[in-house]
Structure 1
Amino acid sequence: MPPATVIIDSQNASWTLVGGSVYRNGVAAGDTYNVSLILWYGSAVYHEGTGGQFYGWNGTTWFACNDPRLGGTSADGAMIPPATYLIDKAGSIWTVVNGVVYRNRNAVGTMSNAALLLWYGGKFWAQSTGGQFYVCGDADQWLPCSDPRIATAAPAGSFHGINGHYDYLYSTSQIVSIMQALGCSTYRLSCTDYAPQLAMVLALAQAFQPAGLTLFVLIDVGIYDGNGNLFTSEAAAYTRGFNCAVTVASALQPHGVTMYECGNELTRANGIILDSTSAGTSVVDFNNTNWPLMRGAMRGMIDGVKSVQADAKCGVNFCVADIGASDALWDGKQPDGTSGHPTVRWDLTTWHNYEVYGDIFDIGTDGSGPGFDLPTYCKARYGVPFVISEWNTGPEKSEAYRANYISSRLLTYYQARKTKNIQSAMYYELDSGDSTYGLMINGTALALPYNAFASFIASHADS
């Protein structure tokens, strides 16, 4: 209406438009003005203002919405062209006019030469007239990337992994036997240059090499010195990371260790994350003052390993949905938005994905906003293999729940290894000393989770 002069709804109420206001059974329906259209659609009443905004009636009041005739969230992979508009999970309408990308009629960032706009994996991607792809990232910045639709297979041979600790009471030969019984290829554990610790990790490396097993070594340097104080500068953090990594890599390189993780959950350290409940999708979630310490430690560890072992693969670890941190480190930016700082470039993007964080293929954003496909984002953004270096459900779950979670979650990781560049998924952990996380306690298997894990590996070849 128009062209009709009255609309009768399913409750037999009559709706009319008088002087730009909406009336229901002759009584003003809320506070409306400048209404140009009343629409009956999908068993609901809507009106449109002269400014183009639509509102829906919920029985007592009006709520802002899109024109219901446009439909809901666009199908994954939808593009402009051929479409003339796309709708995201929040209901925002995206269009492209003369190369400029708009969201609800407002320009998004500084993109000015978009030839294609793609909705894929819960994110918007634009291809410029020159062929370069960009993803709409934090604060509406268009960040360079590859086409996210390109299927990428990670190197085979290290997919089935598990976490352990250097100070387990198991002998090295027992750990080798346990790994072989499980069918696991990759064992992750932490290490520093502390001599007794390094000696135990070295013994494992010596036992793993002839057994054809892979040791994924976490070099555990953070933003705090040996006295528990923050490093005094980026240079100090770099030096500590470099020296530790040189010592570790020098000891392990002769025994077949080729993969290292440089730092553990550093983006979630108390001195880095401002609010531990945030998802980490925005760089402002992180401490600007201490940021250089984290960056220095990461850079130092990578450079230290590479100085000994130039062809080693170095990973940097993130948690939850910390792309605000990973993007800023990759591009040499600070949480305050400044750029031109040292970049951190890694060979493996490693991530922790506990159940409480959400589905990594549809993980939420700050404010629990609509989810996005994190491995797809990282594949397109950084172009290196993706490693899930810790995953599990919560410690409070029953063994039956954990077993079911192992089977279902591991399947989603496995199915994505050939398309989303997932090289390894490392369960946390082998033995937690109780039934909270581990598959066994002091050598005795916890039947349900252990069997679920071993059975999955036996029936899903790492090829």
Structure 2
Amino acid sequence: MINRRQFLGCLTAAASSCVLVACGGGGGSDTPTPGGKKSSVAKASASPSANGTTVPPAASIADNAGNVWTLSSGYIYKNGTKDPYSYNVTMLLWYSGSVYQENTSGNFYQWTGSTWVQCLDPRLGGTSTDGTAIPPASYIIDKSNNIWTVSNGYIYKNSVKDPYSYNVSLLLWYGGMIYQAGTGGQFYVLTLAGNWLPCADPRIAAVASPGAFYGINGHYDYPFTPAQVVGALRTLGCTTYRLGCINTPAQLNPVVSMASAFQSAGLTLFTLVNYGLHDANGILFTSEAAGYQAAFAGAAAIARALAPYGVTMYECGNELTRDPAIIVNPATAGTGRADFNNANWPIMRGVMRGMIDGIKSVQPNARCGINFCVADVAASDMLWDGLQPDGTGGYPQVRWDITTWHNYQAYGDIFNVGTDGAGPGFNLPVYCKARYGVPFMITEWNASPEDTETFRASYVTQQLGEFYAARKTDAIQSVMYYELDSGDNTYGIVTNNLVPIQPTYGAFQSFVAANPDT
């Protein structure tokens, strides 16, 4: 298994941009004439045109530098010199300090000073405000500059009819994604893979139950007594503790002791049932059934041991979608089906189903979570809907009671998380709220391991602020910092002697004190 530092490094990717050149290329105002000599037409000296001036009906427009732009027979002329790279132009536009052209296809291009770059009509206003809906709006512009409209119950994207939508009564831009509702009231969301999937209205606020919002991660082999851990959590202001194990005495016995202490203290133990895709010898399970059976037995044993101590919430697996047997390339964000291994997918599905069913065979009312990373919405959707990465369906559905996610700094802001470090961001908790309709937990979060404690303290304050603001709208039930003690200053918030690591500890403690979980 790739370690956390290596994995986080895989996710750090620089976004790239692509310049789209109008009509075959860009041209400057001093482009040589066919005879090889530059035009002798001198730059005009004119006051800038009024904002919004177009040619036609105006005869010309003047920019801020005094250049005069004209249009004749579909060609652009700047100070009398023909631009050889633009043709079939129907309109010139002066808007907010820039020159734009529109061609016969209805495409717009902006003059950058050296070339033409494709863009939208600037008068449309850019990306639509979050929550824009048709009706009453007449169009929506998404973050990729696509223009969405509705006509006679059909959706059009850049004037191209969507063949899979009809009887549409509402088109909505919310949380960085496009949603539609039909005349029957059912909502659908357009996934990053280009599919419409059923969901709820994402605008409906979902309030999480108070009392377990502030959490932190620990390990069964910490050198602390249960009483010391209880004291550490209370001093920090945390009420939830994430602790993982499998069904071995060395791991389960310390977790049972912690559960007993937490029950007496009125704190919440959130147990990670830490089974993976390999057997005790490290060999990948041979089938979905084999993975299911092994995970079922182990999870049931853990539930039997913990149920008497009031443990009712479990996380079934840790970053299984990022196991090397499942993720094809660890640098991908998980927004596409092809990011995942089709042959091994059933094994992971079997292990997840086995853990959920094993726990519920002992505790039918227990709540079980499934864990995802980065922007793994393709993985979560496939599991929820019983699909394979190759797009085939009809397989067992994995249904969980809590959606759990990991959100480290390298993955990006979970409320505006991108696709593979480059794509336009979207609000992941809103998407999950609409798609799955269950509470949401961020069970691991922290800054990058190489960051200073000064930066980490600022990050803690900023992230907790975002999480706290969304807890009463997006069903964010708990956020669990990674971690209490890491043996050094990389992730831990205290040392091996439970001494606070400052200023990170103080930032966390102060935020909790000022923002009660009520």
Bin for the TM-score computed over the shorter chain: over 0.9
Question: Following TM superposition, by how much is the alpha carbon of 1:373 offset from its aligned partner in structure 2, in angstroms?
Answer: 0.8
Report what 1:316 is aligned to: 370
The equivalent position to 2:471 in structure 1, one of 417, 420, 423, is 417
Distance (whole Å) between structure 1 residues aligned to residue 69 and residue 508 of structure 2: 61
Distance (whole Å) between structure 2 residues aligned to residue 184 and residue 374 of structure 1: 24
Provide the identity percentage: 58
**CA deviation map 1:367-419 (0-9, x unaligned):** 51111111111111110000010011011111222122112211211111111
Report what 1:460 is aligned to: 515
- Root mean square deviation of aligned Cα: 1.3
Question: Following TM superposition, by how much is the alpha carbon of 1:15 offset from its aligned partner in structure 2, in angstroms?
Answer: 1.9
Q: Report the residue type matching 1:268 in the other structure.
A: R
Query: Is the contact made by 2:141 and 2:148 (CA closer than 8 Å) also made in structure 1?
Result: yes
Say whether residues 1:158 and 2:212 are aligned partners: yes
Question: Following TM superposition, by how much is the alpha carbon of 1:16 offset from its aligned partner in structure 2, in angstroms?
Answer: 2.1
Gaps of 5+ in 1: none
Distance (whole Å) between structure 1 residues aligned to residue 392 and residue 283 of structure 2: 26
Question: Following TM superposition, by how much is the alpha carbon of 1:11 offset from its aligned partner in structure 2, in angstroms?
Answer: 2.1
Say whether residues 1:428 and 2:482 are aligned partners: yes
The equivalent position to 1:446 in structure 2, one of 483, 486, 501, is 501
Distance (whole Å) between structure 2 residues aligned to residue 68 and residue 452 of structure 1: 43
The equivalent position to 1:220 in structure 2, one of 259, 274, 295, is 274
Q: Report the residue type matching 2:217 in the other structure.
A: N
Matches within 5 A, 1:345-356: 345-356=399-410
Cα 1:30–1:329 shift into 2, 3 Å: farther
Distance (whole Å) between structure 1 residues aligned to residue 163 and residue 410 of structure 2: 32
The equivalent position to 2:291 in structure 1, one of 205, 226, 237, is 237
- Look up the SS of the partner of 2:503 in the other structure: helix
- Look up the SS of the partner of 2:150 in the other structure: strand
Say whether residues 1:92 and 2:146 are aligned partners: yes
Query: Is the contact made by 2:193 and 2:335 (CA closer than 8 Å) also made in structure 1?
Result: no
Question: Following TM superposition, by how much is the alpha carbon of 1:27 offset from its aligned partner in structure 2, in angstroms?
Answer: 2.0
Range 448-457 or range 114-123, more displaced: 448-457
- Look up the SS of the partner of 1:356 in the other structure: helix
Range 343-352 or range 22-31, more displaced: 22-31
Range 329-338 or range 20-29, more displaced: 20-29
Range 344-353 or range 396-405, more displaced: 396-405
The equivalent position to 2:491 in structure 1, one of 428, 432, 437, is 437
Report what 1:203 is aligned to: 257
Distance (whole Å) between structure 1 residues aligned to residue 298 and residue 155 of structure 2: 47
Distance (whole Å) between structure 2 residues aligned to residue 194 and residue 108 of structure 1: 54
- Look up the SS of the partner of 1:226 in the other structure: coil
Question: Following TM superposition, by how much is the alpha carbon of 1:50 offset from its aligned partner in structure 2, in angstroms?
Answer: 1.2
- Look up the SS of the partner of 1:315 in the other structure: strand
The equivalent position to 2:418 in structure 1, one of 350, 364, 377, is 364
Report what 2:328 is aligned to: 274
Distance (whole Å) between structure 2 residues aligned to residue 264 and residue 134 of structure 1: 29
The equivalent position to 1:392 in structure 2, one of 433, 446, 453, is 446
Distance (whole Å) between structure 2 residues aligned to residue 367 and residue 18 of structure 1: 44
Question: Following TM superposition, by how much is the alpha carbon of 1:72 offset from its aligned partner in structure 2, in angstroms?
Answer: 0.6
Matches within 5 A, 1:44-83: 44-83=98-137
- Look up the SS of the partner of 1:218 in the other structure: strand
Range 93-102 or range 125-134, more displaced: 93-102
Q: Report the residue type matching 2:517 in the other structure.
A: D
Query: Is the contact made by 1:109 and 1:140 (CA closer than 8 Å) also made in structure 2?
Result: no
The equivalent position to 1:168 in structure 2, one of 214, 218, 222, is 222
Report what 1:114 is aligned to: 168
Question: Following TM superposition, by how much is the alpha carbon of 1:449 offset from its aligned partner in structure 2, in angstroms?
Answer: 1.6
Report what 1:379 is aligned to: 433
- Look up the SS of the partner of 1:316 in the other structure: strand
- Look up the SS of the partner of 1:440 in the other structure: coil
Gaps of 5+ in 2: 1-54
The equivalent position to 1:246 in structure 2, one of 277, 285, 300, is 300
Q: Report the residue type matching 2:483 in the other structure.
A: E
Q: Report the residue type matching 1:315 in the other structure.
A: G
Question: Following TM superposition, by how much is the alpha carbon of 1:28 offset from its aligned partner in structure 2, in angstroms?
Answer: 2.1
Report what 1:306 is aligned to: 360
Say whether residues 1:188 and 2:188 are aligned partners: no
- Look up the SS of the partner of 2:193 in the other structure: helix
Q: TM-score, normalised by structure 2?
A: 0.87
Question: Following TM superposition, by how much is the alpha carbon of 1:183 offset from its aligned partner in structure 2, in angstroms?
Answer: 2.2
Distance (whole Å) between structure 1 residues aligned to residue 404 and residue 255 of structure 2: 21
Distance (whole Å) between structure 1 residues aligned to residue 256 and residue 432 of structure 2: 32
Distance (whole Å) between structure 2 residues aligned to residue 138 and residue 61 of structure 1: 31
Distance (whole Å) between structure 1 residues aligned to residue 66 and residue 259 of structure 2: 78
